[in-house]
Structure 1
Amino acid sequence: MTRAPGTVGVIGGGRMGSGIAQSFAAAGSTVVVVESDPGAAAAALDRIRAGLERAAARGLLDGPAETAAARVTTTDAVGALPADADLVVEAVPEDIALKAGVLAAAERAVGGRTVLATNTSSLPVTELGAALTDPSRFLGMHFFNPVPASELVELVVAPMTSDATLDAALGWTKALGKKDVVVKDSPGFASSRLGLALGLEAIRMVEEGVAAPEAIDDAMSLGYKHPMGPLRLTDLVGLDVRLAIAEHLHATLGERFAPPQLLRDKVARGELGRKTGQGFYTWS
């Protein structure tokens, strides 16, 4: 029988980190969220509780929401992660030095059996693993937003990732009720590389006046049965996140991933999508 990890650490209490924490708590894990800012930590707990309450109301949670929420606590230091954690997932911003630093700190805090994972959507897992003493217990676990509702976890395997580490991650993904795809470490993996190619072309079409965002999105959702058009998805992911991924893939894969000027301009104006209320759409 597939079982969720007993204890999970999540580094970062933003929307992705909160969603990862909620998913593991719902599956029965004890979860410790690392968030250095007290206000952000409180907001993370509020998001997790609210998400669990919604899941319970829809009949998607075994037991009361309060019971699952009680399994989640916060700490302000990576060094306070439980030494006996089965899994630690970092979900901090897409900055390779920041991620490498928190992963190295997590490795020092936990025992030798703990699996370490990064939630990066595009940064090289091999390079992040180089910050660790034992990269064999490290891999990418790329969750998708919103994590509790998404069916997919992209498991990214670096050359040093052990078979035992991958097997553990495969079991935990199934315990969350999600589907796995396993890919080798490469720029953008599978999901970000393909998703970004579509998203950037949609932005170029807006830039060139080919069609309005709504029309482009409807063309893909109605014509190709995508659950969400590429521009609405860009708003959901965050234009700043999309720009960072595009810049990385532009540097590694070439001109076809060059960010459109419209994307740069919107990020410069603070139009980052749903989280700021304005992107390609206006969000209330």
Structure 2
Amino acid sequence: MKNIAVIGAGTMGNGIAHTFAQSGFKVQLIDISEVSLKKGMETISKNLDRMVAKEKINETDKNKTLANISTFTTIAEGVKLADLVVEAATENIDLKLNIFKQLEAACPSHTILATNTSSISITQIAAVTQRPEMVIGMHFMNPVPIMKLVEIIRGYNTSNEVTHTIMELSKTLGKVPVEVNDYPGFVANRILMPMLNESIEALYNGVAGVEEIDTVMKLGMAHPMGPLQLADFIGLDVCLSILNVMYDGFKNPKYAPCPLLVNMVQAGKLGIKSGEGFYDYSENRKAEKVSKQFLK
């Protein structure tokens, strides 16, 4: 594989593009928004600058990585030469199905189609294409350039050859691929999201405050980041979407999103991306507890 198309220039998309480009692949970063593409490239450049400052790479490495990335605003143009497409758009089933229909029409016949979805069925996504055996999940962790794990999710029809190819490809990126089967939430989020949701329930029920809950989990369970801070980092809207997918898939009350989470998302308090979630990130202020109005 030489050409990797990445769809979506947001947090996950630009991280995936960065990772492939740094490993020597030619990357076509695709987003319908020029603003998002510009912001994504700026993020990649800043992250590379940090790596230079830490002496993990040199200036030449940085420039080679950036030179490996080209940007496009249409799928048709961006995937013409793609050996692999990694879709990293918003965690919305209708959006992803629409993208994969476009990929089926625009990609060369040999192109493997991967999705970075964190919870949505690979089998369902593959069903809108004429190549379900070539559709697979590549669930990278955030921040992509740093985190080692990649969940490799086989759909019902994903071939052994495609699975092997993507497992080996992930290793060339310096990642540790783990093969899992196609169930809602896969492994990572099937375990993580109920824990985050239960932490939000504890806050909602008045068991303890934001900082107290996070401190218990950091000091008592050796977690590097408290669950409420982690939810802010992931994005509360993303957490809500994943929980809804699992609740719809399993019909089990334990996956039902906490009302506090639902209210915060509806109020636009999404975590770091919006400047406020369980903590306040605006104007470089120190973390503060979420406003009491969302606890009602």
User: Is 1:230–2:227 an aligned residue pair?
Assistant: yes
What amino acid sits opposite 1:8 in the alignment?
I
TM-score using structure 1 length? 0.95
What displacement does 1:87 show? 1.0
SS at match of 2:102: helix
In the alignment, the residues of structure 1 paired with residue 207 and residue 79 of structure 2 have an alpha-carbon distance, to the nearest angstrom, of 53
TM-score using structure 2 length? 0.91
SS at match of 1:244: helix
In the alignment, the residues of structure 1 paired with residue 248 and residue 103 of structure 2 have an alpha-carbon distance, to the nearest angstrom, of 29
SS at match of 2:274: coil
Aligned residue in 1 for 2:181: 184
Deviation string 1:61-85 (CA, Å, 9 cap, x unpaired) is 3742111101111111000124332
In the alignment, the residues of structure 2 paired with residue 177 and residue 198 of structure 1 have an alpha-carbon distance, to the nearest angstrom, of 29
What amino acid sits opposite 1:263 in the alignment?
L
User: Is 1:33–2:23 an aligned residue pair?
Assistant: no
Candidates 195, 201, 205, aligned match of 2:192: 195
User: Is 1:217–2:214 an aligned residue pair?
Assistant: yes
In the alignment, the residues of structure 2 paired with residue 107 and residue 33 of structure 1 have an alpha-carbon distance, to the nearest angstrom, of 18
What displacement does 1:178 show? 1.2
Question: Does the aligned pair in 2 maintain the 1:26–1:52 contact within 8 Å?
Answer: no
What displacement does 1:162 show? 0.7
SS at match of 1:64: helix
Unaligned runs of 5+ in 2: 285-296
What amino acid sits opposite 2:227 in the alignment?
P
Consecutive aligned runs of 4 or more in structure 1 exceeding 6 Å deviation:
none
What displacement does 1:225 show? 1.6
Candidates 156, 159, 162, aligned match of 2:156: 159
Question: Does the aligned pair in 1 maintain the 2:83–2:111 contact within 8 Å?
Answer: yes
Aligned residue in 1 for 2:45: 49
Deviation string 1:222-256 (CA, Å, 9 cap, x unpaired) is 22222222111100000011111111211222111
In the alignment, the residues of structure 1 paired with residue 50 and residue 227 of structure 2 have an alpha-carbon distance, to the nearest angstrom, of 27
In the alignment, the residues of structure 1 paired with residue 127 and residue 229 of structure 2 have an alpha-carbon distance, to the nearest angstrom, of 36
What displacement does 1:190 show? 0.5
In the alignment, the residues of structure 2 paired with residue 276 and residue 191 of structure 1 have an alpha-carbon distance, to the nearest angstrom, of 24
Unaligned runs of 5+ in 1: none
Question: Does the aligned pair in 1 maintain the 2:4–2:82 contact within 8 Å?
Answer: yes
User: Is 1:97–2:88 an aligned residue pair?
Assistant: no
Question: Does the aligned pair in 2 maintain the 1:125–1:185 contact within 8 Å?
Answer: yes
In the alignment, the residues of structure 1 paired with residue 261 and residue 91 of structure 2 have an alpha-carbon distance, to the nearest angstrom, of 17
Q: Superposition RMSD on alpha carbons, in Å? A: 1.3
Aligned residue in 2 for 1:10: 6
> Sequence identity of aligned pairs in percent?
38
Question: Does the aligned pair in 1 maintain the 2:79–2:85 contact within 8 Å?
Answer: no
Deviation string 1:108-162 (CA, Å, 9 cap, x unpaired) is 2222221110011111110000011011111000111111111111111112101
What displacement does 1:58 show? 2.3
Aligned residue in 1 for 2:292: none
Aligned residue in 1 for 2:293: none
In the alignment, the residues of structure 1 paired with residue 33 and residue 201 of structure 2 have an alpha-carbon distance, to the nearest angstrom, of 38
In the alignment, the residues of structure 2 paired with residue 224 and residue 52 of structure 1 have an alpha-carbon distance, to the nearest angstrom, of 32
User: Is 1:258–2:256 an aligned residue pair?
Assistant: yes
SS at match of 2:40: helix
Aligned residue in 2 for 1:112: 109
